[in-house]
Structure formats: structure tokens, C-alpha cells
Chains A and B, each alone.
Chain A
Amino acid sequence: MNKQRMADLVVIGGGPAGLAAAIEARRHGVRDILLLERDRELGGILPQCIHNGFGLHLFKKELTGPEYAECFIDELKDLNIEYKLDTMVLRIHKNRIIEAVSPNEGYFRVQARAVILAMGCRERTRGALLIPGSRPAGIFTAGTAQRLVNIEGSPVGKKAVILGSGDIGLIMARRLTLEGANVEAVVEMMPYPGGLNRNIVQCLHDFEIPLLLSHTVVNVYGRDRLTGVEIARVDQNQKVIPGTRQSIECDTMLLSVGLIPENELSVQCGIELDPTTQGPVVDEHMQTSIDGIFACGNVVHVHDLVDYVTEESRKAGRSAAAYIEHKTKTCELRIKTVPGKSIRYIVPHYVNWDQSDQDLEFFFRSRDVHDRASLVVNLDGKLIKTIRRRHLVPGEMQHIKLKRKMLPICSKQSTLSISIL
């Protein structure tokens, strides 16, 4: 009765991260790969992102989401990488046994030599923010609305307010406008927008959609369908300023208030998470705290650009290939990365000490807005590099490269910190 098969590599998730990781692993010689996707098609969120702007960094051209996904899906198929759709992983065990279920195969187990986690992320909801008011129909997360509009062809509403200025919210402000709806305002609690500057310009300014910074939704009205929201201005501590409340009539509210890496499987498996990113703690090979289990893409930390997800996932694919070939160099001596002043987080969390000449890349986000800032990199308190940046905002992920030889000696307690001065 119990079906158990073997695989060299199981990739969990068939979005941009899982696709790139599987392809890269195959290119590095991994033969028996199995990719498991819970949705009915590959591509993750990309098929619903019908706007362009994908691939600028990687392919030097502007693709739409479906086009970007297609490049990888085609390659995956050309490389004969096995994938299963409509397949939900129920559990990952420390010994790399995967339990999954699908309508076609029923319940099954796979024993993998290596695993790559590429489950992506989910959207924060109204409930998580505890926005008071009634609970009518017409409140969606921006991504759900995007799916309904772009994949299912179902209009979600005629008059909308968007809470949060994350990228999907900005894109949906434009999308709803193009669909003939009125977007009354995009309301952002912080004094700066959450999404990429290019989306502010192309999605809001070009369509004359007001962006209300330092504002938030404080009440929701409507018994059956949403009839309006009340917004108010907030101070620096995000507290509502009395006397600034105003009502906006609308039948739809979209929320773009943050993304949360989907790590329920990781937690169950006992993989260590970083409380800030809410993703696994990883080393420079994208290996998690459990041997042979790697992670990449938005399940590790939320990216702004899919191009970077692809690059990170390729790294995970190569590392998994090396691991399967017993070529991975993890060692006792590891440098821990520590977010310094004004830095929210750094990925990777650890760097293994080795003598190769490979470059090291560090991704991080600032806590707040900085103009003409210096990024200061310290190893065990000693300055090793200073980099100047014109503009740093939390909404745009930063990265720096370091040569391995810049990290010459290390003890068991070595730390590398990045700070903004």
C-alpha cells in the first residue's frame, strides 16, 4: 500500500524559484529530479502577473510574467525534468522523506537525497492587521484580486481603495483602472511607499491615482458588500492623529500590506527560521539548518524582482547538485552575518570558511530611507569595505559582493556586519 519512491532531488514548488533551481541542478548533472507543485500549472504567481518588467536584469529585456515563466517552463520540459501538478506536500522529514498527496497518485512518499524548498510566500491579510469594522464581501488581498481579474476574468469591483503600497497593490491599482474601475486612493501607513519607485511612477502617477502616505484604514463599512472605508492620518509612531478621519465610498478594498514566506512545512520539519525574514536561516550555498535541505526565493526572504529570485535559486540548484555529488564544503568555521545599524536583515545568515576564490553575495534591506549613505562592512569589528549608495529605501532590496579573500581568518565566533552610516 505504501508507495515510496526515490529521487536525487525533490524541489517543492514550481514557481520561479523551483523552476530555476530544478533546471540549474539538472545542468549540473543531477539526473533524477522531481518537482512538486500544488497548483494546476507551473509558474507560481507569474502567470497572473500579465504586466511587463520581468527579466530586465537577467535577460536585458522586458517580459511579462507569463513570458518569463514560459522561458523556464519550456526549458524544464526540454530537460525532461519530471514534475507533478496538483500535488501538495504534507510533510517534510529531517531524513528528507517527503509526504505528498495528489488526485492522480493519491498519498505517496519520496525519499530524496537533497531537497530544495521553493514554496514562495503568501499575503498578509486584513485579519492579521486587525482592521476593525464589519466583514463584508469585497475585501481581497491584492494577489487574490490579481488572480481573479487576470486568470479567471472576474471583475472584483467598480470603486476601490488599496491599502498598502506593496508592488502588487500598485500594479493592481493600474490594472483595476484599466479594467474600468475607479481607484480612489492608495493608502500607505509609512511615510514612504512600500513598492519599487518605477511602480509608483508607472502605476500611480501615470494614472493620477492619489498615494496617501502616512495614512491608514481605520474602519470598514458594509453589511453584505463593502460600502466604504474610513481612513486617517498617522503620526511617526503609526498612531492615528485625531481629527483626520475621512470616509471614502468604495465597493472594493485591496490589501497589499506585506508578504510572509510560507514556512509551515519548514517549521514542522524543524528547520531554523530567522524571525525577521520569517524564512529559513541559510548559508551562502542556500543550505538550511538541516543537512541536504536547501531553500531559495520568497520562501527565504521576500524579493522585489523575480530576476533575483532566479539567481538565488540557481545558486540553490548548484549547491544541491554539489551536495548530491558529495562536493559541498560546509565546515566547522563559519562566519555569522549580523545586521548592523539601520539594516533589517541579511541573507545568507552564515558563510562557511573556505579558500576558493568564489565571490560572496549578500542581500539585505534597510530599515528606513537613507540618502547618500555609506554601507560599512565589518568583520569581527574591523572595517573591511565601505560602499556608497545614493539612495536606500526599505522597499528595494540591496546587495553587495565580497571576495572570499577579504574574509581571511575566522574563529568560531566570527561575525560579519553590514551597517548604514
Chain B
Amino acid sequence: MRLFYWRMKPMYDIAIIGGGITGCFLARQLCRYALKTVLIEKNTDVADETTKANSGIIHSGYDACPGTLKAKLNRLGNPMFDAICRDLGVPFQRIGSLTLALSEEEIPVLQQLYERGQANEIGGLSLLSAEAVRKTEPRIHSRVKAALLAKTAGIVDPFGLAIALAENAADNGTDIRLNSRVVGIRRENDGYVLTTPSGWIKARYVVNCGGVFAGEINELLSPARFRIRPVKGEYIVFDKQVGDLVRHVVFQCPSEKGKGVLVTPTVHGNLMVGPNSQDVEDKEDVSTTRSGLDEILATAGNSVETIPLPLAITGFSGLRASADTGDFVIEELSGYRGFINAAGIDSPGLTASPAIAELVIDLLKSGGLKLTPNPAFDPIRKPIVNVVNLSEEEKSELIRKDPRYGRIICRCESITEGEIVEAIRRRVGARSVDGVKRRVRAGMGRCQGGFCGPRVLEILARELHVSRCQVVKDRGASYLLSEQ
């Protein structure tokens, strides 16, 4: 009997390792075809590492070196966001970006960037005089001499998008395995066997979207031809009161270290500054540093006249998964048919992610995967209702049906109990206080969960049928309360 069960365990067509933006996009785009897919994520939630600590910028694409995968996939990815975000109910705003020349010497740099943009076939680029910049961005620093306007740049909520993709994938039949770290990969006749602490998973094709750990995943099979260096970037988020300090994504001229510190509104109406760029050893070290926070504040202070420091809400940091090859590594692992790496996805990885998914699907296809359309595919994901933005009539109607939508739990962001329960009960639902925060913003505001924290904890314990001492902040053993 046991043997029988063993044999009956499903053979997936595709196993995706890693539930960041790359893995989530691929999982969702694969739903268009009649395939059995599993997304395997080691954390309690998707989007829990690089994807959650990201600038959230959809780049226009002038910056990448012509001829690279980054340049190509940025160009292809950018225009895909409008339709996908509309289908998934994820806020996306094409607000445009300004890259500033802070001195006369930088004006030629803007010209080069403009030309690189032409080489990358990027539309919507124009050079603005200092006067024109100040007209559109009055709070910009007086030292600004000129700027490159890129109309197609936009902003998105990166973890909100990844969660929505995972949810839509799950709704369309993708299995999502959380808390499952892949610790071993073995090739078998017709595919691969992945070992996780909670059992093995078989799949004909495997896609490695392992982020900062993509090298380690590759090396479970064979030596990797790339190394992933974690590069830390720190950010500071400010109160919505100053969310309109700038209206565009404001960059400085890029250097060899990256696109530099930006100042941007977020889709939720906050102001964000960051990131810096720092090579680190530890692939799990997402602590902020005094010097790093000071560095981004000082650098951002060159873009705008005043940084409203007293209105800072929080600081955070994330790790870019940079490959030592300098470009994305998206290819079949040599000698391993059906094992595809999607590695080294650092900036403009978020922008490129829908195009990366398409490229991987092409690779799977040329590797022999049959792609028959899935007639049941439903691309639409309804967003979690945002009560405070409903009309009076809609509010009344919703609360009459379910009074929990009339009970505001998070005061700063006006988030109701109904929204929090929905965030927990949906597919790929929240399992932690931060999971709730990333889905509906409870605790994301200026009091940082001071008021709503105990209430969210209570709702999580109730909905998950666990004691309050078992509720975690984010991952692992991040218990909020101590045992009696």
C-alpha cells in the first residue's frame, strides 16, 4: 500500500525553485499551458527575500549595455506591465523617471545615456533643461543642471505583484510548496528528483529561480559557471505626508556601482530613498547600517533640496543577486537537459521579469516541452478590496454583508478586519504578521503596527487555529510573544 502511494506521487512537468518575482512570474505565465507546475519556496511566504526589499521601479531601459540580456529583456518587459498589473489588480503607475545631471560635467553623461537608450530601442526619452526640470519637479535640488526624462518608467509594488502572481498561479492549479528548501537534486531517466525536508518532488523540467542562492541550487547538480555575489542595498521609507515630494522616479547619473540612490514616490503614496550598494559575504544579512543609512540620506540630499528626516517611517535593506558574469544567466545548464537557470537577476530584474518568464518558456519549448494551451486559464485575479477607497454606497453595502469590513484594525492605513481575514484566507495566504502587512498594508504606516500589531496577531491566531505564542513576525522562529 505504501509503495503504491509512493508511486502515485505526481510527476510534475515543471518544478520552479524559488518564489521570488522571477519564479512567481514564470509560474503564472506557465498557467497559460496545460502543464502541472510546482513552485517551491523555502520561506513561509513568497517574495520574502530580494523581491520584498526592492526599489519597485519599472525601468525604461536606457541604462543597460546594448546587446546584453538585461537590455533586451528590460525593453521587452517594460511594456508588459500595464496589462498584467490590470489583470492581477496590482497598482502600477507609469510616472516616468528623471536622471539628473548634478554638474555641468554630467550633462554629456546624460547625452550618452540618451544615445544608449536609442541603441536599446527605448522610446519616450528626452533631455530636459534645468528650468524644465524645476518646472515639473519644484522640489528638485537647485544644483541640478539638466535631466534625462524617460516617460515609460513606472513604479509597482514588487512584493504585492509577486504575491498576486503566485495567487493567480495557485488559482490556476499550480502547486505552491512553502517552507520547502531544496537540499538535493538528482537526475533520473525522465527528469529530476528534488529533495526537500518534507519529502521529494519529481519533475521533468526544473527552473532555478533561486535568487542569491541560485549558485548553490545549480551546484546541487554540477559546478556552476557563474557565482552570485550578494550586493546589499539599503532604503528609507517616509510618511505619506511627503509622498508628493517628487512626482517622478528621480535618479542620479549611474556609476559602475549601479543606478545609484533614487528618490521616488511609491504606488502606495509614500516617499522612498535608496539604495546604496555594498558587497556583503552573508547571503542572509539584511541588516541596515548607520553608515549605509547616512550614505543614502546624504546622496539623496543631492537630488532634492530637503529630505524630510523627521517623517521617516522605517529603514530596510535587501540583497541584489548579482552574477559575476555581469548579465542575467538564463540558459539550460550544460549537460543537464531540462534544467534551466534563471540566475543573476539583479536590476533591472523586476522590469525584465515578465520577459524572463517568456524566455524561459521558449527554452523549455526548445528543450522538448509540449505547450498546449490551457483552456481553463483565468488571467484575472481580483485584488483584496480596499474598503477606505470604496464609494459610500459600496462601503455600506460591503459592511452590511460582512461587518468585519467596518472594523478598522490598522488606523494609519485604514485597513479593516475583513481585509486582513481575506489576506489570510486567500490562496497563498498570509501566515505571519509581515505576510499580512505585505498583502494589505496593516502595520505598514507611521505607527509601524504599534496599535494594530496585537490585533493582527489575534486575528492570525484565530484564523490559523494556533495559539498566539505560535504567531511569527516573518519567518522561521520569529515568534512575537514568549511562552508563558
Of A38, A122, A126, A218, most buried by chain B (CB within 10 Å of CB) is A122
Residue of A nearest to B236 (CB): A130
A123/B447 contact (C-beta < 8 A), A106-B406, A130-B315 known: yes
In the complex, whether A105 has a CB less than 8 A from a CB of chain B is: yes
| 7 more A-B residue pairs beyond the given contacts A134-B286, A224-B476, with a C-beta to C-beta distance below 8 A | A103-B403, A103-B407, A125-B313, A127-B315, A128-B448, A156-B481, A219-B287
Residue of A nearest to B416 (CB): A101
B399 touches A220 (CB 8 A): no
In the complex, whether A107 has a CB less than 8 A from a CB of chain B is: yes
In the complex, whether A104 has a CB less than 8 A from a CB of chain B is: yes
Binding stretch for chain A, among B330-338, B362-370, B390-398:
B390-398
In the complex, whether B86 has a CB less than 8 A from a CB of chain A is: no
> What 0/1 readout, one digit per residue, does chain A (77-94) give for beta carbons within 8 Å of chain B?
000000000101010000
A147/B406 contact (C-beta < 8 A), A1-B396, A125-B448 known: no
Residue of A nearest to B403 (CB): A103
Minimum C-beta distance from B390 to chain A (A): 9
B396 touches A154 (CB 8 A): no
A262 contacts across to B, CB distance below 8 A: 411
Residue of B nearest to A141 (CB): B450
Of A101, A137, A141, most buried by chain B (CB within 10 Å of CB) is A137
B454 contacts across to A, CB distance below 8 A: 144, 147-148, 151-152, 154
Residue of A nearest to B293 (CB): A130
In the complex, whether B404 has a CB less than 8 A from a CB of chain A is: yes
A127 touches B313 (CB 8 A): yes
In the complex, whether A223 has a CB less than 8 A from a CB of chain B is: yes
In the complex, whether A102 has a CB less than 8 A from a CB of chain B is: yes
Of B289, B472, B481, most buried by chain A (CB within 10 Å of CB) is B481
| Cα distance A107–B403 in the bound complex, in angstroms | 11
B289 contacts across to A, CB distance below 8 A: 132
A155/B314 contact (C-beta < 8 A), A101-B395, A106-B395 known: no
B315 touches A103 (CB 8 A): no
Residue of B nearest to A149 (CB): B481
A101 contacts across to B, CB distance below 8 A: 387, 395, 399, 406, 408
A155 touches B483 (CB 8 A): yes
In the complex, whether B82 has a CB less than 8 A from a CB of chain A is: no
Residue of B nearest to A240 (CB): B290
Q: Which residues of B contact A (CB under 8 A)?
A: 236-237, 241, 284-290, 292-293, 310, 312-316, 387-388, 392-393, 395-396, 399-400, 403-408, 411-412, 414, 417, 446-451, 453-454, 458, 468-469, 472-484
A38 touches B396 (CB 8 A): no
Minimum C-beta distance from A80 to chain B (A): 25
Q: Which residues of A contact B (CB under 8 A)?
A: 1-3, 38, 86, 88, 90, 101-107, 122-123, 125-128, 130, 132-138, 140-141, 143-144, 147-148, 151-152, 154-158, 218-221, 223-225, 251-252, 262, 264, 267
A90 touches B287 (CB 8 A): no
A128/B411 contact (C-beta < 8 A), A148-B454, A155-B483 known: no
B478 touches A132 (CB 8 A): no
Q: List 15 A-B contacts (CB under 8 A).
A: A90-B388, A122-B446, A125-B314, A127-B314, A130-B312, A135-B286, A136-B478, A137-B478, A155-B484, A158-B482, A219-B290, A224-B472, A225-B477, A251-B482, A262-B411
A143/B450 contact (C-beta < 8 A), A137-B473, A154-B468, A158-B482 known: yes
| Cα distance A141–B449 in the bound complex, in angstroms | 9
A137 touches B447 (CB 8 A): no
Residue of A nearest to B239 (CB): A128
Residue of B nearest to A129 (CB): B312
B472 contact from A104, A135, A137, Cβ within 8 A: A137
A223/B284 contact (C-beta < 8 A), A125-B314, A144-B454 known: yes
B469 touches A103 (CB 8 A): no
B313 contacts across to A, CB distance below 8 A: 125, 127-128
| Cα distance A3–B314 in the bound complex, in angstroms | 39
B479 contact from A135, A144, A225, Cβ within 8 A: A225
A106 touches B399 (CB 8 A): yes
A151 contacts across to B, CB distance below 8 A: 454
A224/B477 contact (C-beta < 8 A), A132-B293, A157-B482 known: yes
A135 contacts across to B, CB distance below 8 A: 286-287, 316
A155/B481 contact (C-beta < 8 A), A127-B448, A137-B473, A218-B290 known: yes
A148 touches B481 (CB 8 A): yes
| Cα distance A140–B482 in the bound complex, in angstroms | 13
A125/B447 contact (C-beta < 8 A), A130-B236, A132-B293 known: yes
Minimum C-beta distance from B42 to chain A (A): 14
A132/B400 contact (C-beta < 8 A), A88-B408, A104-B406, A125-B447 known: no
B414 touches A223 (CB 8 A): no
A88/B448 contact (C-beta < 8 A), A127-B315, A132-B288, A158-B482 known: no
B287 touches A126 (CB 8 A): no
B395 contacts across to A, CB distance below 8 A: 101, 106-107
A134/B287 contact (C-beta < 8 A), A38-B408, A125-B314, A251-B482 known: yes
B314 contacts across to A, CB distance below 8 A: 125-128, 130
Of A1, A138, A223, most buried by chain B (CB within 10 Å of CB) is A223
B414 touches A144 (CB 8 A): no
B407 touches A102 (CB 8 A): yes
A106/B400 contact (C-beta < 8 A), A125-B314, A127-B314, A148-B481 known: yes
Minimum C-beta distance from B285 to chain A (A): 8
Of A2, A138, A143, most buried by chain B (CB within 10 Å of CB) is A138
B237 contacts across to A, CB distance below 8 A: 127
A107 touches B399 (CB 8 A): yes
B312 contacts across to A, CB distance below 8 A: 127-128, 130
The 3 closest A-B pairs by CB, nearest first: A127-B314, A103-B403, A137-B473
B476 contacts across to A, CB distance below 8 A: 223-224
B450 touches A133 (CB 8 A): no
Minimum C-beta distance from A123 to chain B (A): 5
B315 touches A107 (CB 8 A): no
B404 touches A103 (CB 8 A): yes
B290 contact from A38, A128, A132, A137, Cβ within 8 A: A132
| Cα distance A380–B211 in the bound complex, in angstroms | 68
B286 contacts across to A, CB distance below 8 A: 134-135
B473 touches A122 (CB 8 A): no
Residue of A nearest to B452 (CB): A144
B399 contacts across to A, CB distance below 8 A: 101, 103, 106-107
Minimum C-beta distance from A120 to chain B (A): 10
| Cα distance A50–B201 in the bound complex, in angstroms | 54
A252 contacts across to B, CB distance below 8 A: 482
| Cα distance A103–B418 in the bound complex, in angstroms | 10
| Cα distance A264–B451 in the bound complex, in angstroms | 15
A152 contacts across to B, CB distance below 8 A: 454, 458, 468
Minimum C-beta distance from A128 to chain B (A): 6
A1/B393 contact (C-beta < 8 A), A101-B406, A106-B400 known: yes
B407 contacts across to A, CB distance below 8 A: 86, 102-103
| Cα distance A314–B454 in the bound complex, in angstroms | 32
| Cα distance A106–B399 in the bound complex, in angstroms | 5
A104/B403 contact (C-beta < 8 A), A130-B315, A156-B482, A225-B478 known: yes
A122/B450 contact (C-beta < 8 A), A90-B388, A224-B476 known: yes
| Cα distance A128–B289 in the bound complex, in angstroms | 15
| Cα distance A90–B392 in the bound complex, in angstroms | 12
Minimum C-beta distance from B183 to chain A (A): 19
| Cα distance A144–B443 in the bound complex, in angstroms | 13
B475 touches A224 (CB 8 A): yes
| Cα distance A107–B397 in the bound complex, in angstroms | 9
